[in-house]
Amino acid sequence: MKTGFAIDVREVTKRFGTRTVVDHIGMQVKYGEIYGFLGPNGSGKTTFLRMLCGLLTPDEGSGQCLGLDFRRESSEIKKQVGYMTQRFSFYEDLTIQENLDFIARIYGVRNRPAAVLRSLERLGMAARKKQLAGTLSGGWKQRLALSACLIHDPKLLLLDEPTAGVDPKARREFWEEIHQLATEGLTVLITTHYMDEAERCHRLAYIAYGKLLANGSVEEVVKSGGLTTWKVRGPDLPALAEKLRPLPGVEQVVAFGNILHVSGRNRDQLQSSITPWMTADYHWELIEAGLEDVFISLMDTARDNFS
């Protein structure tokens, strides 16, 4: 596997009018790495992806993507990148095979029939090759989109919320394929809202309102959040939650089924506030904060850049 960084960029910035949607972001992604890119809707994730693959021109920034200057050599980068957008963007009145053949023509793939056949077989679509794309379920549309991204043998795969709207089985199969591709040396940058998917990435970054707030492995991101989290069980938890939320040091009170997670960054202040509620009626347990706890905490500290 190739060593070094597939993506190594600094101070990447994009503005639309007076609004800065990507604000001086730096990122390093190793070859063969699955890198998760998380954040709320409108945070700048898609804009960042589009700048990496040459679909948008950054206003500021420098660095390389696949060893090429990501600003001056964007046309060459495009040839080596597979980009899967949020929305299904293929011709619904063409068959799976016809769609793949069309994409192969666009990329100038040599020996197109063989390339299309390999794509059909790799993701188990050969038996459905004559099916119209518009009649496919969400999971099969996802397979078609991924096959189209791979047909020109890219070195970098950019996936923008690729599992939105598909069932759990299809999501699991998709991630198994992504990990297999990574073992073969393909680099993957993927945006997602699902915490379980974030945990399947080698490393991840969190962006909110255009700013990079955290990055690293799952363990590093959780640790950097600095959250203390308690799990509590007991009667009438909704009423307890309402009493806890306004207390000093309590930043989050979130229901998870029949338990609450109570979190805050000031450990001593949080402890002082919840101690009166540590009665025989409730069972309290100090636990490690989860990714979701950390990301909600980060969101609460972020400043909206809409205006």
298 CB-near residues (< 8 Å, 6+ apart):
206, 208, 213, 214, 225
pLDDT tens sequence across 14-41: 999 989 999 999 999 999 999 999 888 8
pLDDT tens sequence across 148-179: 999 999 999 999 888 877 788 888 888 999 99
How many whole angstroms separate alpha carbon 158 and alpha carbon 53? Answer: 8
Q: Give Cα 250 to chain centroid, integer Å.
A: 28
Which sequence spans correspond to the domains of the chain? 5-222, 228-288
Phi, psi (rounded to 5 degrees) for 216: 140, -165
- Any idea which fold 5-222 has? Rossmann fold (3.40.50)
Q: Is the four-CA dihedral 118, 120, 124, 126 of positive or negative sign? A: negative
Q: For the structural domain made of 228-288, what CATH number should be given?
A: 3.30.70.920
pLDDT tens sequence across 54-78: 889 999 999 999 999 999 999 999 8
Amino acid 304: pLDDT? 64
Amino acid 297: pLDDT? 84
Mean pLDDT value of segment 127-149: 90
Backbone dihedral region for residue 12 (phi beyond 0: left; psi -120 to 50: alpha; all else: beta): beta
Amino acid 193: pLDDT? 83
Amino acid 93: pLDDT? 92
Of all residues in the chain, the percent with pLDDT exceeding 70 is 97
